[in-house]
Structure 1
Amino acid sequence: MTTPPPGAGEDRALIERFLEMMTAEAGAAKNTVAAYRSDLMLASGVLGGRLAAASADDLTRVGTAWLDLSKASVARKSAALRRFFAFLAEEGHRMDDPGTALPRPGASRGLPKVLDHADVDRLFAAIADRIARDPRDPNDLRLSALVELLYGSGLRATELVSLPRRAVAPDRPYLILRGKGGKERLVPLSDRARAAVAIWREYVAEESPWLFPSGKAHLSRIRLYQLLKALAAEAGIPPDRVSPHVLRHAFATHLLAGGADLRALQAMLGHADIATTEIYTHVDASHLVALVNARHPLADEQRRVDATPRGA
């Protein structure tokens, strides 16, 4: 029997977790999952079973091994590895994302899914309709707290479902989250989110260590995903447009569009690299144009020229 290289087991476990996420949250087809598994395991083999810990130089070496492949094949393999490393960074398994070192053969990165304000309003309207039912269903109160925290604070799915019962204090407008390596960050909490959590917590057993318990553990990521899909359908939004990460992205996008500082947003999202924040926060180009026209010093100069009477 061939002994697997050091790190191969860890690679395989993380790859399977990534593929589980692709199936559950991204709705990837079986053929896509199979292709991603093949691409990731082959790249892991090139690096001796240490793909998850790969450096930018390692990925450059992987890209070199693809020189004889077609552009379409290289684009597919690069996409698989980039999504894998984005997943590792998002879930806290890495503090960086080396995926930028992978080749991009004539392909541009697509914008992530985004919800506009009207979509978000429809989600909250659907939750309000649920809560208004008589008798009140505690599961609807749980859903309200979950969505308020996802959209109002930009939490990762894993961070959200594993929150301790006392993580949200009624007199503290922020959360303190501890990430990989013990690194802490402050996450803002809206008054709405604190109120929704306070109502839900009345239904959580005092002895529960989790804010969102389920059986002997906490609510799973998969179940969170399912709850959001059902809510989207009720709100008249295609379910494939809504996921925990889409709501986290909406948090970032809408804050940035409202004038939030990119560095402050980086801190709130827990991104080690500002480049990751730039990737996960898409701002409408028309907003950027309007911002330049309104705020750039030359805009004031142009307004003065326009206001000057002809012949003056």
Structure 2
Amino acid sequence: MRRPTASDLIPRQSGRGVAAGATPVDFTDAWLRNRRLSEHTRAAYRRDVTGWLTWCAGVDMDPLRATFLDLNEYARTLEATVDSRSGRLLTPATVARKLSALSSWYAFLVRLRAVPANPVTDADRPRINRDHSATIGLTPEQVDALFVAARADPRPSGPRNLAVLALLADLGLRVGELVSVDVADVGHERGHRSVRFVGKGGRARRRALAPDTAATLDAYLTGRAHAAGVPVDELDGPLLVTATGARLDRHAVFRLVRRLARDAGLPAWDRLSPHSLRHAFATTARAEGVPLEDVQDAMGHADPRTTRRYDRDRHNLDRDPAYRIAAARAARTAAG
């Protein structure tokens, strides 16, 4: 049977203005197909909407008739929910993200005239400190310790693991971007070694590979080609693969980062993630004097405020502009 498309859900007017025969699940399928999303984000959005629909079923309420009062009640339920992974209550940021997904879902239904208004618009959402990130960051010295641990890894996967670490630490890639790269995406461009990938929102992006990063990647690919008995230029498929040749997935990267952190003796190793290296990339780049807009472009952020939140050293008093202003004044005085 053919799956319904968005055009199938444009309502044939009924008393409630809802498409005849269309269910909330049908709307969800159409909504997700209509968005440029990574598979990871698509799955997360589906879980968020499914959670809402399950709650609605539990209180015997039609989600297509929900009001902001119902969304408020749902939000309070979420705030009292314990995360099965952490054993702690859902954070305000998590609750806000779930409500944001529902807002996007309802906005889609409004455009299809399946509901008269978006009930999330007037809901009481959690207040989020936009200057805070729950991700545990790493100092440059801690990142160096990860590289030492990776280089000392005797496993056959050691060269690949070092390549994973280099791409995360030196480029600040998101884990979804990292695992999506194919061998064909690595090449040369205007005198630079480069890598192309699909960024957040489905945007095609490219980044330069520093010499050490390129050498690490070349060593991994050379060893992989030798094991396969083919020239390097005949390799194809995913860039990062398992022992069986399958594409390395995000879960394996999470495990790898934590194992290297444990081997390196880093504190809170069991709470680190690939995103910790992305935060470290931003902090180190800014500490080395890279302009905010260049870091923003490198990380693929639409809003510079997001980039600033990744900069863990932004409140360091050593970086207070007062010092530079005073130094410049002193230099002018001396010159005069």
Structure 1, gaps ≥5 residues long: 21-32, 50-59, 88-97, 308-312
1:249 matched residue in structure 2 = 279
Structure 2, gaps ≥5 residues long: 1-20, 33-38, 82-88, 102-120, 229-233
Q: Identity percentage over the alignment?
A: 28
TM-superposed deviation, 1:61: 5.1
Asked whether 1:278 is paired with 2:290, we answer no
Amino acid across the alignment from 2:138: L
- Measured against aligned partners, the alpha-carbon deviations of 1:206-232 in whole angstroms (never above 9, x if no partner) come to 453111123463101111111111111
Query: How many pairs are equivalent?
Result: 264
TM-superposed deviation, 1:279: 2.6
Q: Distance in 2 between matches of 1:276 and 1:85?
A: 20
2:218 matched residue in structure 1 = 198
Contact persistence 2:75–2:95 (CA under 8 A): no
Distance 1:208 1:188, change over 3 A: closer
Q: Distance in 1 between matches of 2:62 and 2:307?
A: 28
| Equivalent residue in structure 1 for 2:239, among 193, 211, 217 | 211
Q: Distance in 2 between matches of 1:159 and 1:250?
A: 17
Amino acid across the alignment from 1:79: A
| Equivalent residue in structure 2 for 1:221, among 244, 250, 255 | 250
Q: Distance in 1 between matches of 2:303 and 2:258?
A: 30
TM-score by length of 1: 0.66
Distance 1:61 1:105, change over 3 A: farther
Q: Distance in 1 between matches of 2:169 and 2:157?
A: 18
TM-score by length of 2: 0.62
Distance 1:19 1:265, change over 3 A: same
Q: Distance in 2 between matches of 1:115 and 1:76?
A: 24
- Measured against aligned partners, the alpha-carbon deviations of 1:245-286 in whole angstroms (never above 9, x if no partner) come to 111111111111222212111111112222322233322422
Distance 1:159 1:181, change over 3 A: closer
Which protein is bigger by CA-based radius of gyration?
Answer: 2
Root-mean-square deviation (CA, aligned residues, Å) is: 4.7
3-state SS in 2 of match to 1:65:
helix
After the TM superposition, which residues 90-239 of structure 1 pair with which residues of structure 2 at under 5 Å, given as runs? 102-104=125-127, 109-110=132-133, 112-130=135-153, 133=154, 137-169=155-187, 172-179=192-199, 183-202=203-222, 203-204=224-225, 205=228, 206-214=234-242, 215=244, 217-237=246-266, 238-239=268-269
Q: Distance in 1 between matches of 2:192 and 2:331?
A: 45
